[in-house]
A and B are shown apart, each in its own frame.
Chain A
Amino acid sequence: KAGVTQTPRYLIKTRGQQVTLSCSPISGHRSVSWYQQTPGQGLQFLFEYFSETQRNKGNFPGRFSGRQFSNSRSEMNVSTLELGDSALYLCASSLVQSYDTEAFFGQGTRLTVV
């Protein structure tokens, strides 16, 4: 079966702009989690969506937001981009809540803010 698909793979944005990243989970998976990965901070949890509802949120500013659609596809948005937002953004899908079951990760979107 198809894996987790993230689009786009690479993005270059300017400070102050906003960006929307997309994640299509594995068919049948209802949970989508988003993570930010940087060399200095490692993998940091952003938020998790399950059946269109945000179930948990990490310690990120309100500029980071997300949503999930009825087909379980998810988007995350970052507004007013800062240089420090440059990172690999990963989404993971799982059948149910991600923390207690296998999470399948996409290849990520590498965002560069200049």
Chain B
Amino acid sequence: TQLLEQSPQFLSIQEGENLTVYCNSSSVFSSLQWYRQEPGEGPVLLVTVVTGGEVKKLKRLTFQFGDARKDSSLHITAAQTGDTGLYLCAGAGFQKLVFGTGTRLLVSP
């Protein structure tokens, strides 16, 4: 069974702080996606990383794919209240997307 473990599960921080979310697995994935889900909505794709060691930046968000394509991280610089939500990583493999356990982020003013 493919499992993607995310840590931490919950994160409550103040606006302006930095944070990192981790997504780890023992399986190799052909690509890894990061989504953000807000209450009452479906997940929205933030980024896809494909190459081992790849780093992608999306404004204040930095995504990295591990060299072995088994893990990934999401770093947010100077968090804002609008970053609040559930962050999900999803690995592509075996003809389906396997979603991580999720990290719920709360950014307070």
Contact = CB atoms under 8 A, between A and B. Distances in A.
A37 to B, nearest CB: 9
B31 interface: yes
B101 to A, nearest CB: 5
Given A42-B102, A58-B96, A99-B93, A90 B45 contact: no
Contact of A103 (B45, B93, B101): B45
A65 B40 CA distance: 24
Interface size bucket, A side?
20 to 34
Contacts of B48: 102
A63 interface: no
A82 B43 CA distance: 26
Interface residues of B, number: 22
Given A43-B88, A100-B30, A100-B31, A108 B42 contact: yes
Nearest to B100: A42
B96 A90 contact: no
Contacts of A97: 95
A33 interface: yes
Contacts of A103: 33, 45, 97
B55 interface: no
List 9 A-B pairs, minimum CB-CB distance, nearest first.
A105-B42, A43-B99, A99-B92, A99-B97, A56-B95, A105-B43, A56-B96, A99-B96, A102-B45
Interface of B: 30-31, 33, 40-45, 48, 88, 90, 92-93, 95-102
Given A42-B88, A56-B96, 20 more contacts: A35-B99, A42-B99, A42-B101, A43-B88, A43-B102, A44-B99, A45-B98, A48-B95, A56-B95, A92-B42, A98-B96, A99-B92, A99-B95, A100-B30, A100-B92, A104-B45, A107-B41, A107-B42, A108-B41, A108-B42
